[in-house]
Amino acid sequence: MSPSLSAADLRAVRMSAQLLGDAQADDVCAVATRLGGVQAQSAADARLAVRARTSGLTAGDVDRATRREADRRAHVGHAGHAAGAR
């Protein structure tokens, strides 16, 4: 017989899985790693989604982290393109 969860327990498990419970991530990278990404219609919505899952981050912290990641991807993409063109 499989264990059953009450509706409240199931909600708690789902909230925890989404980092919306008591356990939150320390930084933007931890949120993206845990969730596999964040879907949002705008940058402001993405910041809110990340900040809701962390403790102590500001909108500026999230912006800096995403800019660093975009810069890293652009650099890797450029290097890969240049290598493939040879």
DSSP states along the chain: ------HHHHHHHHHHHTT-SS--BSSHHHHHHHHS----SSHHHHHHHHHTTBSS--HHHHHHHHHHHHHHHHHHHHHHHHHHH-
Q: Over 80: is that where the pLDDT of 82 sits?
A: no
pLDDT tens-place string over residues 16-56: 999 998 889 999 989 989 998 888 898 889 889 999 999 88
57-81 per-position pLDDT tens digit:
888 998 998 888 777 777 666 555 5
Looking at residue 79, its pLDDT comes to 55
Residue ranges covered by each domain of the chain: 7-85
> In terms of pLDDT, which residue wins out, 85 or 26?
26
CA angle 13, 10, 50 (to 5 degrees): 40
